[in-house]
Every structure is written in structure tokens, then in C-alpha cells.
Amino acid sequence: MTYRALFIALLAVLLGGVSNTASAQPPPGGPPGGMRFAMRPFGGDTMLGDGPGMMLPLMLRRADLTAEQQKRVQDILSADREQLHALFQKLDAANDALAAKLVAPGTVDAAALQPDLDRVAHLRQELMEHGLKTALEVRAVLTPEQLAKTAEVQAKLRSLQQQLRELLDGK
């Protein structure tokens, strides 16, 4: 997994949920009514991944990190690469198991799916906790001025997201 892919995946986990990085996803705009498939968190934004975490690399780029800060961030992310990759593989497998049971022939009820649902929820929680730990380490690298810049970029991105939703919803 490349540095950039690891960084994006980690930040997506932290700020918005877990995207299923290796599987097919619905096209932009998604199904009507905001319905999602089993491998996407409910309510995820189809155009920007599952949350604003997909935009964090852009925000950090705008923070004007020094070469030393960039290296420190890369070192932090590299140290967690294997564990993060293993967690994503486990989540993919758990999502696949749940999806397979949902489309299997015969009767399926919520009780039969609960162990799979619990497994997916547990893995997502692990990813969130792992992502938070790592994001706090990355945050500690930034100066107060850089944090202010990232907050400004985040506010602008949220405004753009809202404008896009309004345009797509016809409001």
C-alpha cells in the first residue's frame, strides 16, 4: 500500500467511517433515498468517500508542512501500515461474509445476521480507535497556525459539499 493510499485510508477511518477500498462502490449520486450497499456505512457521501477524511490530505497539503514535518507524518503512517492493512483485510472479509448471507437462498432473519453485524461493527470500532491514535500523532506535528489553516480549508470544503448537495437535490 502506498504512503498516499495508507494516509487516505487512515484519515477516512478517523473522520467518517470506513470505505471499502478494494470493492466496487455505487456510482456518484448513489441509489435513491441515500440507500447504501452492505459494504458502505449508512449515510456515507458517495462523491467524497464515506466522510470528509478523504479530503484531509488536501487540507494537510494546504497546511504548508515543512520537509521535517512531512517526514514525521510519513514515519507515523509507515509505523502503522501493517496493522491498518490487516484491519482492512479483516473488515473486507467480514463485509463479504455478511453480504453473502444476505443474498444466500432461503430465509434470513436479523438474528442469524447479528454475529456478522457485530463483527463488522467491532472491526470498524477498532479502525476508528486506531485512526484516532494515529491522527492525534499526526496532529501533534502541526503548529497552531497550520491547524488553523486546516480548519479553514475544512470549513470551505464543508461549504462546497453543502452547495453540491443543494445542487444535486434541486433545492
CB atoms within 10 A of CB 40: 21
Nearest 5°: the CA angle 87, 90, 92 is: 110
- Lowest mean pLDDT: which of 19-28, 62-71, 72-81, 149-158? 19-28
Mean per-residue pLDDT of the chain:
74
Least confident stretch, 60-64, 124-128, 159-163: 60-64
Query: With 80 as the cut, is the pLDDT of residue 92 above it?
Result: yes
pLDDT for 2 equals 54
18 in Cβ contact with 127 (< 8 Å): yes
pLDDT in tens, 50-74: 433 445 566 678 888 999 999 998 8
Which has more confidence, 171 or 147? 147
pLDDT, position 58: 66
Tell me the average pLDDT across 141-162.
91
Question: What is the rounded average pLDDT of the residues 156-163?
Answer: 92
Q: Which domain holds residue 101?
A: 3-169
Q: Look at 6 and 90; give whichever has higher pLDDT.
A: 90
Q: What is the 3-state secondary structure (H, E, C) of 108-162?
A: CCHHHHHHHHHHHHHHHHHHHHHHHHHHHHHHCCCCHHHHHHHHHHHHHHHHHHH
pTM: 0.62
User: What's the pLDDT at 105?
Assistant: 94
The domain total for the chain is 1
